[in-house]
Homo-oligomer: A and B are copies of this chain.
Amino acid sequence: MAIERRETSEKFSLWFRKVLSEAEIVDYRYPVKGCGVWLPYGFQLRQNIISVIRGLLNKTGHEECLFPIFIPEDSFARETAHIKGLETEVFWVTHAGARKLDVKLILRPTSETVIAPMLKLWIRSHADLPKKLYQVVNIFRYETKATWPIVRVREVTTFKEAHTAHATSKDAEEQVREGVEVYKRFFDCLCLSYTITDRPDWDRFPGALCSTAFETVLPDGKTLQIGTVHNLGQNFSKAFDLTFEKEDGSRDYLWQTCYGISERVIAAIIAVHGDDRGLVLPPSIAPIQVVIVPIPYKGFEEKIKIATDRVEEKIGKIGLRVSTDNREGMTPGAKFYQWEIKGVPIRVEVGPKDIEKGVVTIVRRDTLEKSTCSEDRFEETVKSMLAAVEKALRDKTWAWLRAKIKSAETVEEAAKLLKKGSGIVELNWCGAEDCGLKVEEKTGGRVLGTPVDKTPTAGRCAVCGKSAKTTIRVSKAY
């Protein structure tokens, strides 16, 4: 096997780093900690993923724009909970040239306080609402824990943040639901499975009324947060004095929401679908969907070239991203190895025997199954195989996730399950913060919150034994 991927955190971490390097996704050997370089292949993967979310947001009436990176200190400090939650992890720009700046600048860790002063200029009345904006930018967090490629970095190069403003609380709630729906479709497209959890009060986004988060479970059983949706209520609009004229002529503060997705989804795709041979990419976002490897054979050079060109043309015609590997001085086996690491969903081999029979050999990356297909049925075979790959990946990750969610009666049992590598453990919970924090303390896990899609429970709180109101989820989290 090329790269061993095992279900322990240590092995998984080794596998992940090795795959990032060998598949040429990112290179973190840059001389600033927590900062990496997206390599051409990784960059293309990233671009394809961004395209998917852009498409979904544009289709639902979100408008893309681009806001500045700098936040003046006084803007940032306006919303009290916001600055309190983030001030320990922001980067400060204090000088320019040889001059000390009059107002210190923060590199955006998120853009609520960047957008607020502009909303103040743009929104006058209910007729300007709703306002649904988003941007895809780099953000900055001074991570003090050990950094982890793509997952815990200091320059998050890829942060899609949507910010919306509404006339009523109800509209904002409705928008939260739309945000959740958009993200569901996004993750479905990426063949990622997920849980949706309302974060507990003590772990909301700084400045939010409530936060809802998407998690997926990585191969080592730890959860990775891959998206969040927040109802900001009027916290920021009050701090920034963002008012508007209502239909009845009176004034109110804006109701706001925001929701974000970062390059962590890329880490999730790599981690969840990959195997011992490297990446396994969902067809919708693979930089190359079909790779053609000609199998050279003496005396057949011309015939193989003609057949290869014909196959490439056929795939190009049905609108797929295709590449032919014509490199010289490399064996087909070495090429197979490389394209497997890079996770190309389908490999087509064109060799002398196949040509004689009028067939091509097709290999599926996810199952490594090899089959032949007659050249005249080639396009439909490739298309349906890509659809099958997509379905298989989706089914597999959902099955994986379901198996990784366990219930426990007691906190001790939960701790044991987490230790054994269970992804998410659910417990009955009375709803008290004290009990929630005790779950964290006793399991060494992180309380994710309460499932959005679960009905109230009838049992007793796993901590205090009082009547339980709901279910609480706990996991070891990245």
Contact = CB atoms under 8 A, between A and B. Distances in A.
Interface of A: 27, 29-32, 35-40, 42-44, 46-47, 63-72, 75, 87-99, 105, 107, 114, 117-118, 121, 133, 138, 142, 144, 154-155, 157
B65 A32 contact: no
**Chain A's interface: helix, strand, loop or mixed, by majority?**
mixed
A154 to B, nearest CB: 8
Given A64-B43, A66-B157, A70-B35, A30 B117 contact: yes
B31 A117 contact: yes
A324 to B, nearest CB: 16
Contacts of A42: 65
Contacts of A114: 30
A118 B65 contact: no
Contacts of A144: 97
Contacts of A63: 40, 43
B95 A94 contact: yes
A286 to B, nearest CB: 17
Nearest to A122: B27
A169 to B, nearest CB: 26
Given A65-B38, A66-B43, A155-B70, A107 B90 contact: no
Given A30-B117, A39-B65, A68-B155, A90 B94 contact: no
18 contacts: A27-B118, A29-B118, A31-B75, A31-B117, A32-B70, A37-B65, A37-B118, A38-B66, A40-B63, A43-B64, A46-B66, A87-B97, A87-B98, A91-B95, A91-B96, A91-B105, A92-B95, A92-B96
Contact of A30 (B89, B93, B107, B118): B118
A99 to B, nearest CB: 8
Copies of this chain in the oligomer:
2
B96 A37 contact: no
A96 B90 contact: yes
A41 to B, nearest CB: 9
Name the residue among A47, A97, A154 with the largest chain B CB count within 10 angstroms. Answer: A97
CB-based closest 5 A-B pairs: A96-B142, A35-B68, A40-B63, A38-B66, A92-B95
A29 B68 CA distance: 11
A40 B64 contact: yes
A132 to B, nearest CB: 10
Nearest to A118: B37
A346 to B, nearest CB: 23
Given A91-B96, A95-B91, A97-B89, A68 B32 contact: yes
Nearest to A137: B138
Nearest to A28: B68
A93 B91 CA distance: 7
Contacts of A67: 30, 37
B69 A138 contact: yes
Contacts of A75: 31
A47 B144 CA distance: 35
Nearest to A37: B67
Contacts of A46: 66
A463 to B, nearest CB: 33
A169 B169 CA distance: 65
